Amino acid sequence: MTEQRYFHAQWSSRMAFILAASGSAIGLGNIWKFPYLAGENGGGAFVLVYLLCVAAIGIPIMMAETLLGRRGRQSPINTMLTLAEEAKASPDWHYAGWLGVISGFLILSYYSVIAGWATAYIFKINSALFEHINAAGSTRLFNEFKSSPVFVGLWHTLFMAATTLIASRGVSGGLERTTRFMMPALLLMLVALDFYAMNSGGFGQGVAFLFNPDFSKLTGAGVLAAMGQAFFSLGLGMGSIMVYGSYLPSHVSIARSTLVVAGADTAVALMAGLAIFPLVFANGLEPSMGPGLIFQTLPIAFGQMSGGWLFGMVFFSLVFFAAITSAVALIEPAVAFMTENLRLSRADAAIYSGIGCWFLGLASVFSFNIWSDVQMFGKTPFELVDMLTAEFMLPVGGVMVAVFAGWVMRREIAEQELELTDRRQFEIWYFLTRYVAPAGVAIIFLDAVGVL
């Protein structure tokens, strides 16, 4: 394998890496999932655990994953194989790469369905039906929409096609250009929505819900969901950041770049929460209404603003862009692997992976309508895939990365790749990666299954 190592193209600069990595991190996880999970799990205490997980587990693993990628410079599977060889460890480590490819596939299959909803809303929000709409009306329209398998399936198909197209064009062609203008625009729109929320009449309640922790509302399952969300939102534990790291030029500081990305990701999630919960309370809605939360609350705001339809169209377009840059990251480990090991062209690799995800995604399309009764352990296929990936596969993948970087790889190599000038900073990272991250994940797992 090592003789024919395949070196990928590189990012044009540090900024390009930051943009692409934030493109991967910032997505539906921040705007759609964070608010609804916070809503379902009682708010403040969930948010606090989430922030702790980002700081103590997520950021160190993000650095570890990027550094493994840059050291190995191939798809996650081959990177792990090469690095295991370098460290004289078992080649079985490459299964960590496989786990990532599979997690990416599973996540993208349902991610595309939700992204399809957001894309459909770009066009729907323009309709007179949304003018001065109230909470009941917006809920009714959302329920009507999601109950049509054909309509939802169609948007899922379009979104997967767009993802495949961008992925087939490769690192700098597809990714860099998309993220460059999308990120700043999305931030501006969120700031505008936050201002709107400030005057909605529910701001105080919204802020209290998000930031006043009430630990009596937090269960072991809620803590697990918060940790899963930290992995999901940062885009960790499945090789995306590893592949992006593999395109990172060697002089760029991994620590600083990842801190910027994690900071931006967290800020966007909190800003989305601050836009949504005031609307929830001002309109007498329930914070715990689940995956439909943003689709039922935001249209009320757009419907009441003058020119809100235009604002709404721009907003959902930006959600589409945020989602597609994450979708491309989700499919990238599979594409990189197929181009290396199956010697397929990028375009063919993207098409095969795209079709696979599309097909799997039908199970999620149907979970909201014709298969809503098909349940295992009381969960629809969509809920099952979502939980299995975010709450199990990503944390396991992340711990493998942490254990490899902290225990298997030689310390000098990690030191050399991280290039932290201050020794203390390296010691902190090393401690978090070796002990805190693996132990933290283990404790949260055990707590959630009731062992602790």
Residue 379: strand pairing partners: 376
* 65 neighbors 242 (Cβ within 8 angstroms): yes
CA 52/CA 58 separation, integer angstroms: 9
28 is a site residue for ligand PHE (CB under 6 A) = yes
Shortest approach of ligand PHE to residue 279 CB, angstroms? 21
Write the CB contacts of 416 (distance below 8 Å, at least 6 apart in sequence). none
* 137 neighbors 391 (Cβ within 8 angstroms): no
233 is a site residue for ligand PHE (CB under 6 A) = yes
Shortest approach of ligand PHE to residue 202 CB, angstroms? 25
Cβ count near 220 (within 10 Å): 16
- Which residue, 107 or 264, is less far from ligand PHE as judged by CB? 107
Complete DSSP assignment for 376-445: BTTB-HHHHHHHHIIIIIHHHHHHHHHHIIIIIS-HHHHHHHH--SSHHHHHHHHHIIIIIHHHHHHHHH
- Which residue, 62 or 107, is less far from ligand PHE as judged by CB? 107
- Which residue, 81 or 107, is less far from ligand PHE as judged by CB? 107
For 376, phi then psi, to 5°, come to: -125, 135
Span interacting with ligand PHE, options 203-211, 219-227, 230-238, 252-260, rule CB under 6 A: 230-238
Binding residue for ligand PHE, selected from 11, 19, 22, 24, defined by CB under 6 A: 24
Binding residue for ligand PHE, selected from 79, 326, 353, 367, defined by CB under 6 A: 326
Task: Kindly identify the residues of this chain, within the stretch 337-356, that bind ligand PHE according to CB under 6 A.
Answer: none
Cβ count near 181 (within 10 Å): 11
232 is a site residue for ligand PHE (CB under 6 A) = yes
Shortest approach of ligand PHE to residue 24 CB, angstroms? 5
Closest-CA residue to 406 (of 395, 415, 397): 415
246 is a site residue for ligand PHE (CB under 6 A) = no
Shortest approach of ligand PHE to residue 268 CB, angstroms? 9
Cβ count near 305 (within 10 Å): 15
User: What is the distance, to the nearest Å, from the Cα of residue 261 to the centroid of all Cα atoms in its chain?
Assistant: 12
Using CA atoms, how far residue 73 sits from 150, 197, 246, 248, in Å, is 42, 45, 4, 9
Binding residue for ligand PHE, selected from 330, 336, 350, 414, defined by CB under 6 A: 330
- Which residue, 130 or 231, is less far from ligand PHE as judged by CB? 231
27 is a site residue for ligand PHE (CB under 6 A) = yes
- Which residue, 112 or 233, is less far from ligand PHE as judged by CB? 233
Report angle CA 287, 109, 38 to the nearest 5 degrees. Answer: 20
Shortest approach of ligand PHE to residue 398 CB, angstroms? 10
283 is a site residue for ligand PHE (CB under 6 A) = no
183 is a site residue for ligand PHE (CB under 6 A) = no
Span interacting with ligand PHE, options 24-32, 49-57, 73-81, 122-130, rule CB under 6 A: 24-32
Closest-CA residue to 76 (of 313, 244, 272, 233): 244
385 is a site residue for ligand PHE (CB under 6 A) = no
266 is a site residue for ligand PHE (CB under 6 A) = no
Binding residue for ligand PHE, selected from 10, 119, 164, 240, defined by CB under 6 A: 240
Span interacting with ligand PHE, options 10-18, 86-94, 112-120, 324-332, rule CB under 6 A: 324-332
Residue 376: strand pairing partners: 379
User: Where on the chain is the footprint of ligand PHE (CB under 6 A)?
Assistant: 24-25, 27-30, 107, 232-233, 235, 238, 240, 326, 329-330
